[in-house]
Structure 1
Amino acid sequence: MIHYDLNCAEGHRFDGWFPSAAGFEAQRDAGLIACSICGTTQIDRALMAPNVSVARSDKGSVADTPLSPDQPSPLERLRKEIEANSDYVGLRFVDEARAMHEGRSEARAIHGEAKPAEAAALLQEGVPIAPLPFIPKRRQN
């Protein structure tokens, strides 16, 4: 398939895919290609930049380079940062977050566990919470 940028006689620009250059010309000459804006069948190819493939390097990308076993992953570093700077409240998370939001408890950084419906209810109440991209360490195998 060949991709062409096309122009109509009114100057509208659009694109089309064709099986070959000859296929485009045959469809155009038969009046099968029409501008979707004005409906004219006076269509021609527009000047377009060539689609040039870039050579691929044999070197892997940074993402392909495995981390050394001694180096923690970015997710593990995030986990350690959160665990070091907040209190784990476990299954009491919903009650603790709501109490802090309502002023019944001292505000502090917490993390814990909540069911999806409970988290949705907190968000509807305006309690600022966010899901964490990891499972608590004590719940991992």
Structure 2
Amino acid sequence: MIVFDLICGNAGHGFEGWFGSSSDYEDQRTRGLIACPLCGSTAVEKAVMAPNVGLKSNQTSAIATKTSASAAPEASAPTEMEPMSNAVQVPPEYKELLIKLAKAQEKILEKSEWVGREFAETARAIHYGEMKEKQVHGEASPDEAAALEDEGIAVAPLPMPYIPPKNKN
């Protein structure tokens, strides 16, 4: 699994996405399957990311050395380095909301069957009485979802990212 920091192009909302690989991310993005959890926009891109690599325990950084050298003589004690990250800071109330939303989605999907890329065909078969009625979830392109809606078949995107069963550890 790989985690990407993602950003919504419409409102600049930042969030995380978990993918099986970089190509999985690209595939889902081009098919419009990745949506901002706050506003629903599918105009989503990777945010600039930098690894958070710590120093070896026996090294100091150039910044710490410069700070110590330019500080007043009485402040010659080594400066404690603060860990840094470019991760988007999510307010606690948003975190709580996202956790509740993820739990609600998990509860809904407990009674639903994963049908993968066969989602559009399965939804049609259920709608037209060719299959026993049941809840299903899977993958559909924006065009497939629009065609289903045009036929009067009720579909909705999942609000939170979903890891297909075959990609779970």
Highest Rg: 1 or 2? Answer: 1
Higher helix share: 2
Short-chain TM bin: 0.3 to 0.5
